[in-house]
Structure 1
């Protein structure tokens, strides 16, 4: 099985990290994986050790600001040269490249398997933009051979949004962690006494709605409580100012980007996710593995499946400030089923997801051959 995977760069991101882990898992199982990157930038380059990859960067042209167009221009030549059996589209943000490959290469384009990595409803969009986005999803369905959702509830969501029959949608629990990661996160945590240590992790961007978290924390924080935000992004100055305005600067830590969440989670008590929308957030899986109390917005169609309907955490409507604050305060006294939480996290490992993807690739390639070959070739 020759698999081509394309990414814009090694810049940190959940979609890219999972894609690199899957590539390694497929290589370990004997697949021929060719990784293509638009540029070499990014802190995750070390995670590609052992993989065969090529960089499409041109030393004379800076492509970071138009990386999608750059990939569309350069990838067809790579596909013609390497002749993969299947192309893996790692997430929603790469779908336009996949569609363009089908348009540019026609019947010479290999089948494409695309992972849906984010919410498809996009209630955060204004109505006209949302309508256009839903039209775009239905256009994708004409060109992408198979879609993969990251948890069982996504099957109906994907089928409904794209207009596809359910048999063109597969489900693979998002392989966000390895079993080694599960073991690292599940090490005994240091226990606090009266104070509680709240933590969150993710890019400081509008999607995450960290302003909601800061306001909720300000409402319920006790003298010795603390809130740590792991991650960086364009909203950091605005959020730091909000923390000052709310009078919680002395209890709020903006730690910036970190490469390993496990040591930070080991010193925390409560994980909070305040996003407006998500796919299957890896940080929730990591919090489950760490046995942290969890408070999250209902930002994903898969959230209740991940937390067993609220058994492993508190789920609040998106943008509900008072409800989020009450949940943060209440979760302090909730008894945790840490063994069950870890078992739930083990669903989402690359050891389970990697082989499942290879089965899907084989099924997709076989189906494509049957559809495109002549009766004599069959």
Structure 2
């Protein structure tokens, strides 16, 4: 049994937080002792955490202020490996590990396209973290664990990080027995009692996710009775609703908020769409594939091309092209659901917990 520590800012609604909750549970299931440490607070993903995972909350007012408390914790608690997640948390963890003498056991993780993600948050402290991180990544003893090959290559191509400074590990998106488990009943009324085709998307209501392009594409569909549901929270809710109104599709477009079980919603949909401008390794796309539901994705950096085998599993369209996106969605909805269904499910199988845990254990402990 190994003692493992995962360091996060909180357990909010982001994909990284959800994946670390799943990874913590999968690592425990594999026979390890796992602690999940939150720098600032808990969050919506906390109830999903395996009860066998020890929780530590530093309750810092902000991530950067958590360095002294994290340093004391690392000095007092010895782990075989420590994993920090997300760039600004990585910088905090590196500082605390260096001060506590545990840097040799620290691993950090990049979850998104670094060259794109660094422009999302304008806060000075975040910008400083993104400037500092690549320099630290050259100095720390262990390579940065990237969520996809594309993320690893982007970090090397656009910063001072070298190929030897990066490695990869897959997200634990799916239960090992996902093929045998029927999806739960959906919660959205358009899916519970379907009367027309329904398209589903999942993600933060942010510029990165390209939902403005999706709504534009939706308005162009020849299937005039179709409905669109975008599950997620974010700052662009008002703008997206205004766009739907301006395009005359507001009554057929709904933004109901966060979905606690997106697989249940996607499984009843006629098509799932990933309209992102950039990604790391889109978990929602894997979840959609696991249901067998037809999918369409943008050829964005990074992830969809790897997951969809460059379009062999499901259609890929160019980013910010609503006409092409509309055509692909329309074609998928016009194709019998059974066509390529097994191909989609097989593509998702790479991201089951048991396999992902092995990629992480190899990255963290240097073994298979």
Tell me the residue number matched to 2:311. Answer: 310
TM-score relative to the length of structure 1: 0.83
Aligned position for 1:140: 136
Contiguous gaps of at least 5 residues in structure 2: none
Query: Which of these residues, 64, 86, 90, is aligned with residue 91 of structure 1?
Result: 86
| 1:356 matches 2:339 | no
Bigger drift between 344-353 and 38-47 goes to 38-47
Residue 285 of structure 1 and its aligned partner are, at CA, apart by 0.1
Report the CA distance shift for 1:53/1:133 in structure 2 as closer, same or farther (over 3 A).
closer
Give CA-to-partner distance per residue, 1:123-157, whole Å, 9 cap, x none. Answer: 8949xx9x998854531322442122223444433
Pairing 1:146-161 to 2, within 5 Å after superposition: 146-161=143-158
Q: What residue is the counterpart of 2:327 in the other structure?
A: 326
Contact 2:267–2:292 (8 Å) recurs in 1: no
Distance 1:157 1:272, change over 3 A: same
The answer to whether the aligner puts 1:71 opposite 2:66 as a matched pair is yes
1:163 and 1:363 map into 2 onto residues whose CA distance is: 24
Matched residue, 1:174 = 171
- Closer, same or farther: CA 69–163 of 1 in aligned 2, 3 Å: closer
* Mapped partners of 1:37, 1:132: distance in 2: 21
List alignment gaps of at least 5 residues for structure 1: 58-62, 365-378
**75, 98, 105: which is aligned to 1:80?**
75
SS in 1 for 2:205: coil
Spell out the pairing of 1:1-378 with structure 2 (5 A cutoff): 1-48=2-49, 49-57=51-59, 63=60, 66-105=61-100, 107-122=101-116, 125=119, 136-144=132-140, 145-184=142-181, 195-334=196-335, 336-363=339-366
CA separation in 2, counterparts of 1:233 and 1:43?
Answer: 14
1:183/1:119 CA distance change after superposition, 3 Å: farther
Secondary structure of the structure 2 residue equivalent to 1:43: coil
Deviation at 1:67, TM superposition (A): 2.2
| Alpha-carbon offset, residue 219 of structure 1 | 1.3
Q: For residues 323-372 of structure 1, what are the alpha-carbon distances to aligned partners after superposition, in whole Å with 9 as ceiling and x for unaligned?
A: 222222233234631112111101011111112212222229xxxxxxxx
Query: For residues 132 and 256 of structure 1, do their structure 2 counterparts lie closer, same or farther at Cα, with a shift above 3 Å needed?
Result: closer
1:280–1:300 contact (8 Å) kept in structure 2: no
Secondary structure in structure 1 of the residue aligned to 2:225: coil
What displacement does 1:181 show? 4.3
Separation (CA, whole Å) in 2 of partners of 1:313 and 1:191: 26
CA RMSD of aligned residues (A): 3.1
> For residues 109 and 254 of structure 2, what CA distance do their matches in structure 1 show?
34
Which of 1 and 2 has greater Rg?
Answer: 1
Secondary structure of the residue aligned to 2:170 is coil
* Paired residues of 2:279 and 2:300 also in contact (CA < 8 A): yes
Q: Give the whole-Å Cα distance in 2 for the aligned partners of 1:286 and 1:345.
A: 7
